[in-house]
A and B are shown apart, each in its own frame.
Chain A
Amino acid sequence: MSTASALAADALGPSAFTRPENGIRRVYRTEVRKLSSQVVVRVVALLCLVVPFIFAALLKVQSGAPTDTLYGVWVHSSGFAVSLVVLASGAAWGVPLIAGTVAGDMFSSEDRYGTWKLVLTRSCTRSNVFVGKLLAAATFVIALELLMAFASMAAGVLLVGAQSLVDLNGTLFSPAHSALLVFISWLTLIPPTLAFTAIAVLLSIATRNGILGVIAPFALALAMQLLLLVGTGIWSHLLLVGAAVFTWHGLFDAHPYLGPLLVGIAVSVIWTVVCIDVSWALLRRRDFAGTPVSRRRGWGTPVRVVVAITASIALIAIAGNWGPAGVTAKRLRSDLTPAFNHLTVLQQTELGRHVPKGAKLTLALPTCSRRGSVPYGPGEWICYFYVQTPSTGALPSEPTNIGYDVSVNWDGCYKAQSPPAFIGQQTMRNKQGKSVVNPLYTIYGCFNPL
């Protein structure tokens, strides 16, 4: 029987039959009250609420845009893009920060304050305490995340507006559809957030060190972000829970693909279950024998935990090429070509030119090649479009060569930029004379790497 099964059996077993739910509920309520009283949790909640508004306000007063981030170029055009940029740039760091702050000290603080003996001598079992604390931590991290989601959406809509959002193939979503997709994207963060919470809980229990419990998930997320830059294999990347915070990208494709999202959820669940299992095993067998015995533990356990995590990361790094390459020239070409087409139509429409329904550019021989030793995998690519421009006057039509520098991530998301000679500057005047984003200046796209 796994530890998780044993935990469930403990919670529902004969010894707890009298008041199993009550015990968990009581612990849950006390933990919620304790967390609500903690200054650091209140500060994080305040940051989740205020930072999106500050971010949106800063964007409002300056002309530049965070073009390196997915949807960054659209932050002046749609408030939903503001929320997505907060999500895209904040998820990698915000999620582990929230998880570490809420859960990283939840168990170790009982050691620091010497309150285990207080809690465990009340009318609740050890499994009640464990489950109640986990549920309280999960409640808080999800609540903080949703707070950030609503704050970023509200900030975007209030300060920029609820305009339509351009999808990753260059077509427009309606405002309602955009709002729904943005909200769903935030919801997809919940599984990895819970996984990072479980990691924080494990560190808190294993090391009994609050600082390590709070900081280590953040450091682990940083290590994972670096590992995502290593290797070309898709599986080794998808197994990192840090990758699961980006799997919402597929929702914004004209033909949404859910493979990476589902894998990310599964991976998050696995990380969560494993960390909770190990945490419970450690807590269940622990003797709360007082300071002298605790002191004898020294740094042995923290060192073992760090070594284990480091070894796991090293193993994943070594296995960085495991699995097929998710990024190939064919996939990139087949995604970039329609995106370019759609965005050109969008650009022409913005400029007030008549574009017949179904019209598209005549593209000839689009090619994509990777700058590097191997012709596949994430990295820097260059793609050429040969556009058959219409004949003007006596000049015959001739193919025009447009080169795009494309930065492709491991998950198939890319940013393509071209010199402005053909596609124009970052902003342009629309038919009303208003400055708008030139859709072709920066092309964001994603394709399914699976």
Chain B
Amino acid sequence: MAALRASGIVKRFETVCALDGVDLALQTGQVRGLLGPNGAGKTTLLRVFFGLVRPDAGTVELLDRRLEWPEAEALEGTAGFVENPSFYPYLSGRVNLELMAELDGRTATAKIDDALARVGLAGRGDDRVNGYSTGMKQRLGIAASLLREPRLLLLDEPSAGLDPAGVRDMSALLRQLANDGVTILLSSHQIVEVEEICDSFTILRRGHVVWDGTAEQLREQAPASAYHMQTSDDARTLELAEHQRGVRAAPSRRGGLALAVDLGALDPWVLALGSAGVAVRRLELLVSPVESMFFALTGDSERPPNEPSELAELDRRALAGI
């Protein structure tokens, strides 16, 4: 059963075509990563699903109910947020959640306590939101979503603004929700993080869906993953790489080698190095299959934000000839 079905979504803002015939289907229980560079149309698509933006063409069904604009009755059972979740700053986090629960027709004091605890805000719920950090607001946004006991969760960059521990907690929470059977559509720039949670992906570029499928399909179709490698003998490694199927290597400016390795070629390559008496001292994944697919499909316009720029440039150059 499809939890979300969008067909032929078109949305223009003046001269900009934000969405150009987007089709998307999300089966119940799926955790879908919605990826794309800035301006690809991810957030606009989520706004369409929330009924915040009326498309110029196309239809949307959420949980088997057709979404009618501007009325959003079909949002029942759906929760989430777009961009940074915002709240009334002059009210406490708890009162904000109480208002949201009131709008949902729920009286949920216990649930509010539970939601605050689940997102790590149990001790800060009575503080005014204008004293919250971005990450805390992000957590409160998740808490507001949880209050609705959603069957379909639409999240836009849920980890934005969170510290590393927060990112880890968020991933764990999303995994738990997924295990509970909640269907999740997750828009994010944190490809590595999304990769861990999602079982399928949709990649948008300039308002078009350029790839859509399961994680396995994506890995199979992905171009080479990129690695940074340090060995006991880089010159010998380069020689060996010329004869190894699925592996291409180039010197890296920061020392060591930049590698492009096709799916399934990494293990034979490492074994081959060992057999040739070359020790692998360091092997660092720079670009995962999902990332490499993403870069290939989106024109390599985006790099992971946590990657040092120098390394990114170095390895981009190193891989340029591949």
Tell me if B's interface is mostly helix, strand, loop or mixed: loop
Residue of A whose beta carbon sits closest to that of B76: A123
Distance of A180 Cα from B284 Cα, bound (Å): 86
Residues A117 and B99 in contact, CB atoms below 8 Å apart? no
Tell me which of A16-24, A405-413, A425-433 binds B.
Answer: A16-24
With an 8 A cutoff between CB atoms, is A255 at the interface? no
With an 8 A cutoff between CB atoms, is B82 at the interface? yes
Nearest Cβ in chain B — how far from A47, in angstroms? 20
Tell me which of B47-55, B253-261, B269-277 binds A.
Answer: B47-55
Residues B86 and A16 in contact, CB atoms below 8 Å apart? no
With an 8 A cutoff between CB atoms, is A122 at the interface? yes
Tier of interface size on chain B: 35 or more
Nearest Cβ in chain B — how far from A14, in angstroms? 9
Residues A113 and B86 in contact, CB atoms below 8 Å apart? yes
Q: Which of B79, B82, B103, B104 contacts A117 (CB 8 A)?
A: B82
Contact with A along B1-20 (1 / 0, CB 8 A): 00000000000011000000
Distance of A166 Cα from B190 Cα, bound (Å): 78
Q: Given A26-B105, A29-B102, do A288 and B52 touch, yes or no (CB 8 Å)?
A: yes
Contact with A along B205-219 (1 / 0, CB 8 A): 000000000000000
Residue of A whose beta carbon sits closest to that of B92: A37
With an 8 A cutoff between CB atoms, is A304 at the interface? no
Return chain B residues, CB-CB under 8 Å to A126.
51, 70-72
Q: Which of A22, A30, A117, A124 contacts B81 (CB 8 A)?
A: A117
With an 8 A cutoff between CB atoms, is B83 at the interface? yes
- Most chain B CB within 10 A, of A19, A26, A117, is at A117
Residues A27 and B103 in contact, CB atoms below 8 Å apart? yes
Contact with B along A214-226 (1 / 0, CB 8 A): 0000000000000
Residues A16 and B73 in contact, CB atoms below 8 Å apart? yes
Distance of A224 Cα from B164 Cα, bound (Å): 59
Residues B52 and A16 in contact, CB atoms below 8 Å apart? no
Contact residues of A between 330 and 344, Cβ < 8 Å to B: none
Distance of A79 Cα from B208 Cα, bound (Å): 73
- Most chain A CB within 10 A, of B80, B83, B102, is at B102
Distance of A286 Cα from B43 Cα, bound (Å): 17
Residues B88 and A289 in contact, CB atoms below 8 Å apart? no
Return chain A residues, CB-CB under 8 Å to B83.
114, 117, 290
With an 8 A cutoff between CB atoms, is B132 at the interface? no
Distance of A287 Cα from B53 Cα, bound (Å): 5
Contact with A along B67-95 (1 / 0, CB 8 A): 01011110110111111111111110001
Residues A289 and B75 in contact, CB atoms below 8 Å apart? no
Residues A26 and B103 in contact, CB atoms below 8 Å apart? yes
Return chain B residues, CB-CB under 8 Å to A286.
70
Distance of A275 Cα from B238 Cα, bound (Å): 75
Residues B88 and A34 in contact, CB atoms below 8 Å apart? yes
Contact residues of A between 111 and 129, Cβ < 8 Å to B: 113-127
Nearest Cβ in chain B — how far from A288, in angstroms? 4
Q: Which of B43, B54, B82, B85 contacts A287 (CB 8 A)?
A: B54
Q: Which of A30, A38, A124, A289 contacts B90 (CB 8 A)?
A: A38
Nearest Cβ in chain B — how far from A44, in angstroms? 16
Return chain A residues, CB-CB under 8 Å to B76.
123
Return chain B residues, CB-CB under 8 Å to A113.
86-89
With an 8 A cutoff between CB atoms, is A353 at the interface? no
Distance of A303 Cα from B104 Cα, bound (Å): 37
Residue of B whose beta carbon sits closest to that of A34: B88
- Most chain B CB within 10 A, of A38, A121, A285, is at A121
With an 8 A cutoff between CB atoms, is B144 at the interface? yes
Distance of A27 Cα from B95 Cα, bound (Å): 15
Residues B71 and A122 in contact, CB atoms below 8 Å apart? no
Q: Which of B51, B80, B104, B105 contacts A120 (CB 8 A)?
A: B51
Contact residues of A between 1 and 54, Cβ < 8 Å to B: 10, 15-16, 18-19, 22, 26-27, 29-30, 33-34, 37-39
Contact residues of B between 190 and 243, Cβ < 8 Å to A: none
Residues A289 and B13 in contact, CB atoms below 8 Å apart? yes
Return chain A residues, CB-CB under 8 Å to B148.
122-123
Residues B73 and A289 in contact, CB atoms below 8 Å apart? no
Return chain B residues, CB-CB under 8 Å to A22.
105
With an 8 A cutoff between CB atoms, is B167 at the interface? no
Q: Which of A15, A123, A287, A293 contacts B104 (CB 8 A)?
A: A123
Q: Given A126-B72, A289-B52, do A119 and B103 touch, yes or no (CB 8 Å)?
A: yes
Residue of A whose beta carbon sits closest to that of B49: A121
Return chain B residues, CB-CB under 8 Å to A18.
73
Nearest Cβ in chain A — how far from B39, in angstroms? 10
With an 8 A cutoff between CB atoms, is B44 at the interface? yes
Distance of A287 Cα from B13 Cα, bound (Å): 10
With an 8 A cutoff between CB atoms, is A357 at the interface? no
Nearest Cβ in chain A — how far from B134, in angstroms? 13
Q: Which of A37, A117, A125 contacts B52 (CB 8 A)?
A: A117
Residues A127 and B71 in contact, CB atoms below 8 Å apart? yes
Nearest Cβ in chain B — how far from A73, in angstroms? 45
Contact residues of A between 164 and 186, Cβ < 8 Å to B: none
Residues A285 and B52 in contact, CB atoms below 8 Å apart? no
Nearest Cβ in chain B — how far from A72, in angstroms? 40
Distance of A289 Cα from B43 Cα, bound (Å): 9
Nearest Cβ in chain A — how far from B113, in angstroms? 19
With an 8 A cutoff between CB atoms, is B279 at the interface? no
Return chain B residues, CB-CB under 8 Å to A120.
50-52, 72
Residues B50 and A289 in contact, CB atoms below 8 Å apart? no
Distance of A118 Cα from B54 Cα, bound (Å): 17
Q: Which of A115, A121, A124 contacts B50 (CB 8 A)?
A: A121
Distance of A121 Cα from B44 Cα, bound (Å): 14
Return chain B residues, CB-CB under 8 Å to A125.
70-73
With an 8 A cutoff between CB atoms, is B263 at the interface? no
Residues A15 and B71 in contact, CB atoms below 8 Å apart? yes
With an 8 A cutoff between CB atoms, is B100 at the interface? yes
Q: Which of B47, B86, B89, B103 contacts A289 (CB 8 A)?
A: B47
With an 8 A cutoff between CB atoms, is A360 at the interface? no
Q: Mind listing 26 A-B residue pairs with CB under 8 Å?
A: A15-B73, A19-B105, A22-B105, A26-B103, A30-B103, A34-B88, A37-B90, A115-B86, A115-B87, A117-B52, A118-B100, A118-B144, A122-B100, A122-B103, A123-B76, A125-B72, A126-B72, A287-B52, A287-B53, A288-B47, A288-B53, A289-B44, A289-B47, A290-B43, A290-B82, A293-B13
Starting from the known contacts A126-B70, A288-B53, 10 additional A-B residue pairs (CB-CB under 8 Å) come to: A10-B71, A16-B71, A33-B95, A117-B86, A121-B52, A123-B148, A127-B71, A286-B70, A287-B52, A290-B82
**Chain B residues with a Cβ under 8 A of chain A:** 13-14, 43-44, 47, 50-54, 68, 70-73, 75-76, 78-91, 95, 99-100, 102-105, 144, 148
Query: Which 5 A/B pairs are nearest by Cβ-Cβ distance?
Result: A114-B86, A122-B103, A288-B52, A125-B71, A126-B70
